[in-house]
Structure 1
Amino acid sequence: MTSTAEHLRNALDGRWRDIKNAMRARLSDEIFRPHYTPNTVIARAKVAEQLKIMAAAGAAEDGFRKEHGGNGDVGAAITQIEMLAMSDLSLMVKAGVQWGLFGGAIENLGTERHHKAYVRRLIDLDLLGCFAMTETGHGSDVQSLETTATYDPETQEFVIHSPTPSARKDYIGGAAETARVATVFAQLITPDGEGHGVHCFVVPIRDDMGNDMPGVTTSDCHYKGGLPGVDNGRIVFDHVRVPRENLLNRYADVAPDGTYSSLIENPGRRFFTMLGTLIRGRVTVGGSAAAAARVALDIATRYALERRQFEAPKSDEEVLIMDYLVHQRRLLPLIAKSYALQFAQNELVAKCHELQTSDDPDAEEQRELEARAAGLKAANTWHASRAIQEAREACGGAGYLAENRLIALRADTDVFTTFEGDNHVLTQLVAKELLTAYADDIKGMSPVEWVRFAANYAGERVLKRTAAETIIQTVLDTRQDNEEEGSLFNRGTQVKMFEDREEYMLASV
């Protein structure tokens, strides 16, 4: 007979629950036991060993299409990396960079020549790579990156160059030690001097011995606030030449004579289409942060069911700290929110899987996915920061011991609120998408309709501001401890209330 806990876990795990159960079994192996060491040499060596075991077990194959040597199960790939967060967030980030970002760029932005040359090798870790997008001067504003890729028709090569100190590629996972190749985002410039915006190029940065290639200078970011197993580094290019074929040319190409061509004429739409194919990283980061939060809350809850403080009335035994209402109020709402966010994450992963395994994804659905991924990444990572800190405090001094994991979880997830997009910028992206859709809905109105709309809306605002007591009383009058329509216990009623609030807030803005 299935227990309530098992039912809850199955519901929480969602569509890819079998993958999660398989990962739980794999992570129970001694090599994947959570460990804490601020020593970067030890931590990086440990992660490298774990990554090789993951690759040998075929962990990366789900993320790539069958015709490229994978299994074509995007949802399973995202789920596996999310589960790694429950073991070691450094391992999760390294796997995400190698197979999600570096591998994802080659598969989604490249064409057959790139798939044949690189995909199988990067799946097997025969080719270690990094994702060189962020620069010292530009992080969120990717369109303004300064690195250039100027085409030379005489040699049929692109010249990759860092023209200013702020063009240095910065904070790049894998760039400090392990990566041999980088997918470099740079401004494509044709021989006529015309710029065509940011494109992605495959650029070797180290030889087989680990030495920098000619014209490439790498350096180490060294100690960070967390993630000691991730070798974040910096890259500077000094007129580094790569063959014309190293342009990832799914959406745009340059002919041998330097002629630029693209199926998407609008430069802005072309740029956002290219970035949209890389959405998987943002989805994974949000899910992994949420997983880390659940681990922390689990630890704090188990501790609260063991730890006792202050003598109970009429008893010789002290009181479990979980029996104090104030302690319940600290943890239980965060646990409830974790469930809600995970159900939303499950839907997001399913939608990402659907669109990325489709031969002809719908453009409008792709834009909606990007907005949802942005919003949920912000919600998940902010929740993780708050929940893990509360869990740490709820365990007192025990929570500050490294062996109890909470300080490592807090340190390792702290950067999640700013990488893969700063949360405030991502929230603005969501707002822009909502307002654009709202504008599209109402822009066809005639002047008369506009006047009627404004008058009705102004009246509705006044009504809502003066009728608060009536609204509350209506809710109280209809509240019943059953599933009748109108009851707060009716899920349809709850959804309708959220939808009404969403519509009102959007119209207000």
Structure 2
Amino acid sequence: MDQGAITDVLDGRWAEVRRMIRDQVAAAEFLESHELDTERHRAQVYEQLAELAASGRQRLGFAAEYGGGDDVGGSLVSFEMLGFGDLSLMVKAGVQWGLFGGAVQLLGTARHHERYLRPIMDLELPGCFAMTETGHGSDVANLRTTATYDPASAEFVVDTPHEAARKDYIGNAARDGRMAVVFAQLVTEGESRGVHAFLVPIRDENGNTAPGVRIEDCGRKAGLNGVDNGRLSFAGVRVPRAALLNAYGDVAVDGTYSSSIESDSRRFFTMLGALIRGRVSVAGSAGNATKRALAIAVRYGEARRQFARPGDPDEVVLLDYRAHQRKLLPALAKTYALHFAQEELVGALHDLSNQGDSAEVDEHRQRELESRAAGVKAFATWHATSSIQTAREACGGAGYLAENVLPALKADTDVFTTFEGDNTVLLQLVAKGLLTSYKDHFEELSPLATARFVAEQFVGTVMERTAARKLIDRLVDAGPGNDDDATLLDRGWQVKAFCDREEHLLDGAAARLRRVSDDDADPFEVFNGAQDHLLHAASAHVERILLEAFVAGVDRCADPAAKALLDKVCDLFVLSTIEADRAWFLEHGRLTSARSKAVVATVNELCAELRPHASILVDAFAIPEQFIAAAPIAAGAERGRQDVMRAHDAAVR
């Protein structure tokens, strides 16, 4: 089979960007970082960041009028591709151009764009994104840093009122950053107007700390030690009025506050919604790190032998064992599903960024996109954590050696589950988006307010079906109505099963939250008691999105053999997902006990059928070879595989 046909489908809409980056990587020297100390690693990553700046790739996501490429999707794919290599470089690039540069572009106005975007793109102005505080991470609305306007000097005074308000874990802060986008409570005329973003210098051009700014180094971390994470505190730091990134709110010289969005909470959500590119980039990079780990493990599993069959002197290849197949192949199938979902997410964000002036449509699509980005990021990063661990175990002791890359991948991706949004909080965001539409004047962001709003507004199960593809509708309509085992591989039945589970869980969650309206009900306790249900509903929703994206991806494949193989990979994703949640399907009468056993048996059969194609499936990711060869166990396995193929060809001749 021509694996190139699968690669073509995976490369998708931004195939040219992916090919360009592969070519650039192939021509560049690649250095693994596992033997570097912290300072040498940081220095190496900064040098590589400068090379990226010189390449011009970082310009893709910025506006053409300032020297950018007006290609948001291409920019996100470019960040994704960094996930194949040193993830410290991906994070460092994401901080500089995704978070710092993105905040200036999306939250600022022309005065900021004209002054700062070119220096940011060219790395002449290294910067930070200072949102998280020691005492507040996910609860951004209640950050404690303040920026108080002084009309006498037309300046904002930025203060850290106590240690819990210290900006923490800030990338680029400990070593390289010269300016930070600082998120703080804007106070003017004695009134707080909620969280806004401000440009605050933290070092001068010679690297000296700015007056009133305190910078501390977070020190060595479990991973990502090429990123200089630091802590920032401010004591009466004065910045000019123009330092306010004023796309959504402004302060006049006399201190008068104005905004095109009247509601403080709606303005806050709009501001944060503009910054989802970082979340999307993390999801894509986690996916590529997962691909790299699985490619190493599959190559090793194809070559490593252990134990012999009775009467046979040759030991058995690891990947011929069913248990080994079950470790790697369902993880590989889910990786494919997440890839297609990520491709759709990038496309949707790109299209929304290029949309015309339709405020109502924009807001609706923006909320939908935020929810999808939250769900895909949570699933992609949790999947990276579990799959890289599985790959490490599948490589035994060899997988524990630093030289074989897997320990670094495990350490570097571990934090992905909690930065750019804690995954559990993100799934609650998904659930809230499913249960309700955002209210124009949603005054509070607390769980208590959320529960009350759901109880007041919910009328039936709220599910967005506007984006459902005609293909999916046809499959559902054509799905069988009987319950025999053959239907397990019917795509219509599979989609129906996922949709039915999602709808049932949402209906049940809404019913539990309706209790808030009871006179004796404690709203917080009701919400808190339903969290497990809400998270399950959100997970079911994301899995349905993954399936629909996978189905659409398979449909785009023009090569019949490649399409048939992808179809089988999709089956494995579906049935291994159902297998993992069999308790729910059994408890709710969606599967009989016999049919539940058939799901397990079919997963085994699919693993056996896909085992001969495992190498093709990981090779189709088209990971630049040096990133795989960096692991000696993978390089050695590849040489062994090629020797076997040459011997086979010679025997045939």
Q: What TM-score, normalized by structure 1, do the two folds share?
A: 0.90
Q: Where does 1:35-54 land on structure 2 (aligned, <5 Å)?
A: 35-54=33-52
1:187/1:197 contact within 8 Å kept = yes
Q: How far apart, in 2, do the equivalents of 1:251 and 1:444 lie?
A: 30
Q: Where does 1:131-150 land on structure 2 (aligned, <5 Å)?
A: 131-150=129-148
Give the deviation of 1:33 after TM superposition. Answer: 4.1
The reply to whether residue 327 of structure 1 matches residue 324 of structure 2 is yes
Q: How far apart, in 1, do the equivalents of 2:146 and 2:35 lie?
A: 39
Q: Deviations over 1:360-384 (max 9, x none)?
A: 3621110011011111111011000
Q: Deviations over 1:114-148 (max 9, x none)?
A: 00000011001011000000011100000111110
Q: Where does 1:92-241 land on structure 2 (aligned, <5 Å)?
A: 92-190=90-188, 192-241=189-238
Residue identity opposite 2:232 in structure 1:
I
Q: Unaligned 5+ residue runs, structure 1?
A: 454-470, 480-486
Residue identity opposite 1:216 in structure 2:
V
1:83 matched residue in structure 2: 81
Q: Where does 1:249-260 land on structure 2 (aligned, <5 Å)?
A: 249-260=246-257
Secondary structure (helix, strand or coil) at the match of 2:303 reads coil
How big is the alpha-carbon RMSD for the aligned residues of Structure 1 and Structure 2? 2.1
Secondary structure (helix, strand or coil) at the match of 2:156 reads strand
The reply to whether residue 505 of structure 1 matches residue 485 of structure 2 is no
Secondary structure (helix, strand or coil) at the match of 1:183 reads strand
Q: Deviations over 1:33-88 (max 9, x none)?
A: 44323511111111111111111110111111112320110011111111101011
Q: How far apart, in 2, do the equivalents of 1:368 and 1:106 lie?
A: 24
Q: How far apart, in 2, do the equivalents of 1:324 and 1:488 lie?
A: 24
Residue identity opposite 2:401 in structure 1:
L
Secondary structure (helix, strand or coil) at the match of 1:305 reads helix
Q: How far apart, in 2, do the equivalents of 1:254 and 1:493 lie?
A: 57
1:312/1:319 contact within 8 Å kept = yes
Q: 1:21 to 1:247 in 2, by over 3 A?
A: same
Q: Structure 1 stretch 62-71 or stretch 256-265: which is displaced more?
A: 62-71
Q: Where does 1:424-503 land on structure 2 (aligned, <5 Å)?
A: 424-437=424-437, 474-476=482-484, 479=486, 487-503=487-503
2:435/2:458 contact within 8 Å kept = no
Residue identity opposite 1:434 in structure 2:
L
Q: Where does 1:277-292 land on structure 2 (aligned, <5 Å)?
A: 277-292=274-289
1:304 matched residue in structure 2: 301
Residue identity opposite 1:242 in structure 2:
V
1:265 matched residue in structure 2: 262
Give the deviation of 1:490 after TM superposition. Answer: 4.2
Q: Deviations over 1:3-56 (max 9, x none)?
A: 531111222222112211221222224433443235111111111111111111
Give the deviation of 1:492 after TM superposition. Answer: 3.6
Q: 1:37 to 1:55 in 2, by over 3 A?
A: same
1:14 matched residue in structure 2: 12
Give the deviation of 1:494 after TM superposition. Answer: 2.5
Secondary structure (helix, strand or coil) at the match of 1:200 reads strand
Secondary structure (helix, strand or coil) at the match of 1:278 reads coil
Give the deviation of 1:154 after TM superposition. Answer: 0.8
Q: How far apart, in 2, do the equivalents of 1:474 and 1:82 lie?
A: 43
1:33/1:87 contact within 8 Å kept = no
Q: 1:292 to 1:216 in 2, by over 3 A?
A: same
1:31/1:50 contact within 8 Å kept = no
Q: How far apart, in 2, do the equivalents of 1:261 and 1:472 lie?
A: 58
> Would you tell me which structure has more helix in proportion to its own residues?
2
Q: How far apart, in 2, do the equivalents of 1:110 and 1:278 lie?
A: 12
Q: 1:199 to 1:496 in 2, by over 3 A?
A: same
Q: How far apart, in 2, do the equivalents of 1:6 and 1:35 lie?
A: 31
Residue identity opposite 1:422 in structure 2:
D
Q: Structure 1 stretch 287-296 or stretch 15-24: which is displaced more?
A: 15-24
Q: Structure 1 stretch 393-402 or stretch 311-320: which is displaced more?
A: 311-320
2:250/2:258 contact within 8 Å kept = yes
Residue identity opposite 2:156 in structure 1:
F
Q: 1:500 to 1:146 in 2, by over 3 A?
A: same
Q: 1:358 to 1:441 in 2, by over 3 A?
A: farther
Q: How far apart, in 2, do the equivalents of 1:60 and 1:408 lie?
A: 25
1:313 matched residue in structure 2: 310
Identity %: 58
Residue identity opposite 1:304 in structure 2:
G
Q: How far apart, in 1, do the equivalents of 2:493 and 2:139 lie?
A: 41
Q: Unaligned 5+ residue runs, structure 2?
A: 439-452, 462-478, 510-653
Secondary structure (helix, strand or coil) at the match of 1:126 reads coil
1:38/1:228 contact within 8 Å kept = no
The reply to whether residue 348 of structure 1 matches residue 356 of structure 2 is no
Q: How far apart, in 2, do the equivalents of 1:258 and 1:100 lie?
A: 31
